[in-house]
Amino acid sequence: MSAQTANLGVPPAPAAAAESEPPRRRRRNHLPYLLLAPTLLWLVVFFVVPIFTSVSASVQEGSLDQGYALTWRWANFADGWNQYNGQFGRSLLFAFLCTVFCLLMGYPLAYFIAFKGGRWKTLLMALVIVPSFTSFLIRTIAWKTILSDNGVIVHALSSLHILGFTSAIGFTVGNHVLASPAAVVCGMVYNFLPFTVLPLYTSLEKIDPRLHEAGADLYCSPLATWRRVTLPLSMPGVVGGTLLTFIPAVGDYVNAQLLGNPNTIVIGQSIEHEFLQDSTGYPIASALSVILMAATLAIVLVYVKKAGTEDLL
């Protein structure tokens, strides 16, 4: 442990500063702060401070030409909420659906790789991550080809009369899948699935497979073994995976822009729209991002509390 202090090229802290403690301990307590200083400074200046700048900007008034003044105009929040509450609701709904589908698809996959993957585990996990190393915009555009009107998927769904049903509940539009809420959610699930699978795999992989055999020995059906043994043990992965999916999904607007229609506008698009508006949009956009931030934080805190895994944060 003490070796670490000197070997990173950091000059040892003056031992005179700590008279009551032995010099070695003093040095050890100093080094982590020196190592952390650049990272902390970076995160404080470019992550924490901007949040406060935004909060202050959200109660300002003015325009691009005349400049902005801090007038404590709380009405920005009311204006933003009244104008865009539909978009807020849609963002949360899409993110919720995306999280549920990611969990439904990601859990079996992570379970399969962790317990049946054998020596192919690493390769299979690489297959989950490899797509992420190609531009996600291009991959999202590829969904336009897959879901296009004369593609296999649309043909299959419409000949099974599924599209009629989904259109009736407003998930697709007419005989198309593209430019509909269904396409947006599909693109989101696709984009965030690796974020669900990774934490799930990490927690499932730690479970001793002999516990399954113990369950079977004690006359548990495979399903009961999963419900009583595997699921409780994999809860940290479930909570971590759903958080890592839901949080970025709330703010995502690329899928809504590329795969949606004018009726699937989410809050991200509204924020961008307000920022790009030249005159008075800027304080409203800041107010919208503050509301989004507060809402996401509240949902996450309630969820983590309910899930009983506060030590995750």
Partner 1 sequence: MSAASSSPLSGPRTAAAPAAEPRTAAGRRGRGPVEWIRAHVLATTSVLVFVFLLAPNVVMFVMSFNAPIGRYNYIWHQFSADAWRHPCAVGDICQHMGLSLEIGVVAMIGSTVLGTMAAFAMSRHRFRARPMVNTLLFLPMAAPEIIMGATLLTLFFTTIGSGSMGFWTIVIGHIMFCLSYVVVTVKSRLAGMDPTLENAAQDLYATPLQTFMKVTLPLVAPGIMAAALLSFALSVDDYIVTKYTAGDQITFPLYVYGAVQRSVPTQIDVIGSMMMLVTMTGIMAMLVVSRVRARRR
Identify the H or E element spanning 70: strand 67-70
184 is a contact residue toward partner 1 (CB under 8 A): no
| CA gap 188, 198 in Å, rounded | 16
126 is a contact residue toward partner 1 (CB under 8 A): yes
Could you give the string, one character per residue 223-252, with x where binding to partner 1 holds by CB under 8 A and - elsewhere?
--------------------xx--xx-xxx
Identify the H or E element spanning 62: strand 60-63
Could you give the string, one character per residue 256-295, with x where binding to partner 1 holds by CB under 8 A and - elsewhere?
-xx---------x--xx--x------x--xx--x--xx--
Name the segment binding partner 1 (CB under 8 A); options: 18-26, 137-145, 162-170, 228-236.
Answer: 137-145
Residue 158: how many CB atoms within 10 A of its CB? Answer: 18
Classify residue 30 by burial, with Cβ atoms within 10 Å: 0-12, 13-18, 19+: middle
Name residue 234's amino acid: S
206, 59 Cβ separation under 8 angstroms: no
| CA gap 234, 215 in Å, rounded | 16
Name which of 75 and 272 has its Cβ closer to partner 1.
Answer: 272
241, 200 Cβ separation under 8 angstroms: yes
Name residue 110's amino acid: A
Please, which of residues 27-46 interact with partner 1 by CB under 8 A? 28-29, 31-33, 35-36, 38-40, 42-44, 46
Rg (CA), the chain: 25
| CA gap 228, 216 in Å, rounded | 12
Name which of 163 and 271 has its Cβ closer to partner 1.
Answer: 271
Please, which of residues 5-24 interact with partner 1 by CB under 8 A? 5-8
Selected binder of partner 1 within 217, 232, 278, 306 (CB under 8 A)? 217
Name the segment binding partner 1 (CB under 8 A); options: 15-23, 75-83, 118-126, 154-162.
Answer: 118-126
138 is a contact residue toward partner 1 (CB under 8 A): yes
Name the segment binding partner 1 (CB under 8 A); options: 2-10, 17-25, 161-169, 231-239.
Answer: 2-10
Please, which of residues 48-107 interact with partner 1 by CB under 8 A? 48-51, 53-54, 57, 105-106
75, 60 Cβ separation under 8 angstroms: no
Name the segment binding partner 1 (CB under 8 A); options: 77-85, 156-164, 168-176, 190-198.
Answer: 190-198
